[in-house]
Amino acid sequence: MSFKEKIDLNKLPKHIAIIMDGNGRWAKQKGKMRVFGHQNGIKSVREMIDGAGEIGVNYITLYAFSKENWQRPKYEVEALMNLMLSSINREVKSLHKNNVRLMAIGDLGNLPKKNQVELQKAIDYTKDNTGLTLVLALSYGSRWEIIQAAKSLAIKYKNNEIDESYFNEANFQNELNTHNIPEPELMIRTSGEMRISNFLLWQLAYSELYFSEKLWPDFKKEDLFEAIVDYQNRERRFGKTSEQIQKS
């Protein structure tokens, strides 16, 4: 029985967040440049979009480029920016045809101008689609995002638009890049690393974490389905006892 067949479609995570790790090591194992790993990583991105679409997951967020990634060698940063640009341009029609809505989170103003323009075009082009929402985290860092939210509230407070009673979880979450996106129930990281790496720190508070040994270019649809089956076998307690959860 395949993992896909084992999935309970009534208990699907609505939102899956993914740290796509291991492209560099995958390329190195094959005696190739790191960029070759990133290029092949795109194929796994496609697999995730197809897989999520097939079973009806609503949101996938991909950690495509972190704020820390700007510190990589210049040629690798340029290659990643070019890959992002060419992938968006090449895939936008097929995303649209598959009813996928594209969104982006992160410090997007730091991306090369051309990337910003093409990304915005693709977002606008797919904005009314009602299938999977694909969220790209680009120049994204969770601490940065949280500080932005705090600043925004501080300004509102200073301008007397809000008072202390406004400071609660719901209103804080409303200032985050992800304000219109539900929290991920499941976070997957590939390549055997067991870290969050400044990804969705606020949003992952109650998420189930799943770590795969596979390097990102080897992570395929069936691996996504395996992670979902694993998630469905867990008990999410949100601080309550097992007995309380079983009763409700």
Q: Which residues bind ligand FPP (CB under 6 A)?
A: 20-25, 34, 38, 41-42, 45, 62, 64, 69, 83-84, 87-88, 136, 191
- Work out how close the CB of 175 gets to ligand FPP at its nearest, in angstroms, rounded to a whole number: 26
- Chain position whose Cβ is nearest to ligand FPP: 24
- Work out how close the CB of 215 gets to ligand FPP at its nearest, in angstroms, rounded to a whole number: 7
Q: Indicate the angle between helix axes 74-97 and 34-55, nearest 10 degrees.
A: 20
Name the DSSP letter for residue 69.
Answer: G
- The phi-psi region of residue 160 (left if phi > 0; otherwise alpha if psi is between -120 and 50; otherwise beta) is left
Nearer to ligand FPP, 22 or 106 (CB): 22
Nearer to ligand FPP, 88 or 188 (CB): 88
For the annotated catalytic residues, the residue numbers are: 21, 69
Q: Which residues pair with 65 in a beta bridge?
A: 138
- Work out how close the CB of 91 gets to ligand FPP at its nearest, in angstroms, rounded to a whole number: 8
Nearer to ligand FPP, 60 or 186 (CB): 60
